[in-house]
Structure formats: structure tokens, C-alpha cells
Amino acid sequence: MSTKKREVIWGGRIMGADMRAEMARQNARKAARAADRAEAEAWSVRMEGYGGPAQPSPTICQCLNGGYGWLEIECCRCKTRASLPLDAIRRARDTPIWKLEPSFRCRSCGTRRYKPPVRMIKLTEQREITPYKWVHPDEER
């Protein structure tokens, strides 16, 4: 059997299978994005409504893939709120969100020796809080 004849017989089936495979990949990406979005939203509602538990939580990558790119936090002492962009956090993308909490500290009411901890409030799609005005520690407030 010649190659030309083989191409005529099997070419359509191969092209159809390739098209179905590509469509399945696109649907899988959409489904993964929807699942990541639902998980990030559930965690956010649980944190905002009940104050926790923070575990289990989605990873940074899942939040970004689902469209939730900002983490809202609040100081435990002065109640100052801030929105942090998740894509600017220098951690591995597979780090769960709850593992970030100990690394955050309040800059507005902290002293040189002690910076009070913060708590996570929720994940958001866009910045909801105005940017924090940075104050040098030596300046008077």
C-alpha cells in the first residue's frame, strides 16, 4: 500500500483525534481553573466568616490560577488592614496560603524590637484596600 493511499485512509482519523485531544486539554484547563477558583473562594469565605480554620488552604498557584491574586491581612494589635499581591510573594508557588501567616508583621504599630503578628482575612480578585503609606522607623508619626 502506498503512502499516499495510507494518508487518504488514516489522515482524517488522525486529524480528528488530534482535534479531540486538543479540545479535551482546553476543557481540562477550564475545569482546573474552575476547581481552583472554587477552592480559593471556599477558603476565603471560611476565613472571613468564621475566622478559620486556615488549614487546609489552597496553594499560591491555585489562587492565582483561580483569579484570586490578593490576600487581605489585618494587624492583631492596631487593626490596620493591607492587601498583598500573591504574585509578588517570594515563595514557591506550591506553598499553601496558611504557611505565609507567620512571615507577615505589622509595620505601622511595630517598634524596632517588636512587630506584632497579623491574621489573614480573605482572598480577593483585586486590591480592595488602598496601598500602605510607608513610614521610616526613625520618623515621628
Q: What is the pLDDT of residues 38-93, one digit of tens each?
A: 999 999 999 988 887 878 899 999 999 999 999 999 988 888 888 889 998 899 99
* Alpha helix ranges (H) inside 51-69: 60-66
Sign of the Cα torsion 128, 134, 137, 141 reads: negative
- Identify the residue with better confidence: 4 or 29: 29
Q: What is the pTM of this model?
A: 0.74
Tens-digit pLDDT profile for residues 90-127: 999 999 999 988 888 887 787 888 888 888 899 998 88
The owner of cell 490560577 is 65
Strand runs (DSSP E) across 55-112, as ranges? 70-75, 81-85
In the chain, what percentage of residues exceed pLDDT 90? 37
User: Is residue 36 within 8 Å of residue 63, measured between CB atoms?
Assistant: yes
> CA angle, corner 92, sides to 100 and 55, nearest 5?
40
The arrangement of strands across the sheet holding 70-75 comes to: 81-85, 70-75, 118-124
Backbone dihedral angles phi then psi of residue 84, each to the nearest 5 degrees: -110, 135
